[in-house]
Amino acid sequence: MKREELVNNIQRKGSFLCVGLDPDIKKIPAHLLEGENPLYEFCRQIVDATAPYCVAYKPNLAFFESLVADGLRQLEMTVKHIRENHPDQFVIADAKRGDIGNTSALYARAAFEHMGVDAITVAPYMGEDSVKPFLGYEGKWVVLLALTSNPGSKDFQLLPVNAEGRRLFEEVILKSSEWAGPEEMMYVVGATQGRMFEDIRRVAPKSFLLVPGVGAQGGSLEEVCRYGMLPDGECGLLVNSSRGIIYASTGLDFAAAAGEAARTLAAQMATLL
């Protein structure tokens, strides 16, 4: 999906919500475990209930890979369901991959050619040749980790890397900007970072940001928008919520509850756009 189409979807729906699909076999409603494809069935119902209120889905591969081959099969089914029934949704494989060049090329092939997602999250530690194989696919995106939402983000991402006090996450954004423009690269910036969005916008003035950490992790939607939103309807944010939506209820009404939670969050977003 091209940037223009993503921006159009955001404006049309009045939402920049991304729903994180983290189907934990230990948390999904018990009645689904009787079927053959519980992760898929859980995701399918969540997707159908939330699609009117979001513009993107972010399946996290860890939750599918926890069942190894059987889980990846259900991930493929999930992506296919979204593609066929909700073609206006932007699909991000949350994989945090990154390896030497020839190996990253295989991860790219799996994500973009086999699974058919629009974007994949990539870890920057191994540098340019670990990221570049994900670039150059028409309409596909790299979502590079910059400043993450977890406590450990302070361990390395905030270290100063030059005499002027530039920090590692800023260096990651500046250097990777030489590899790809804001038409095919986004950055992960955790909602828990608040005012840091001002610093982010200094080094990434036009890029879309994928923002996890609203809800269960404690980030504030208002703060993210105040400091991170782009002007002129460009938005430049995809705010992700996972647990707050998909586990809104763990009973028979889980899908309806997820739809309601997504609707509520989207309504807040509409007022902020």
Residue number, 155 or 232, with CB nearest to a second copy: 155
Contact flag: residue 174 with a second copy (CB under 8 A): no
Contact flag: residue 39 with a second copy (CB under 8 A): no
Q: Which is catalytic among the residues 13, 26, 27, 96?
A: 96
**Which candidate, 79, 72, 75, 180, places its Cα nearest to that of 128?**
180
Contact flag: residue 165 with a second copy (CB under 8 A): no
C-alpha–C-alpha distance, residues 198 and 57, integer Å = 26
Distance of closest approach, residue 71 Cβ to a second copy, in angstroms:
8
**Which candidate, 182, 258, 266, 177, places its Cα nearest to that of 221?**
266
Distance of closest approach, residue 129 Cβ to a second copy, in angstroms:
4
Contact flag: residue 41 with a second copy (CB under 8 A): no
Contact range with a second copy by CB under 8 A, out of 89-97, 219-227, 229-237, 259-267: 89-97
Whether 206 sits among the annotated catalytic residues: the reply is no
Q: Are 34 and 258 in contact (CB under 8 A)?
A: no
Contact flag: residue 126 with a second copy (CB under 8 A): yes
Alpha helices in the chain (DSSP H): 3-13, 38-50, 61-65, 68-85, 101-108, 128-131, 153-156, 168-177, 196-203, 221-228, 243-246, 254-272
Question: Two tokens at 200?
Answer: 């982010």
Binding residues (CB under 8 A) for a second copy: these are: 22, 24, 60, 62-63, 65-73, 75-76, 94, 96-101, 103-104, 106-107, 109-110, 114-115, 123-131, 145, 148-157, 159-162, 168, 171-172, 175, 217
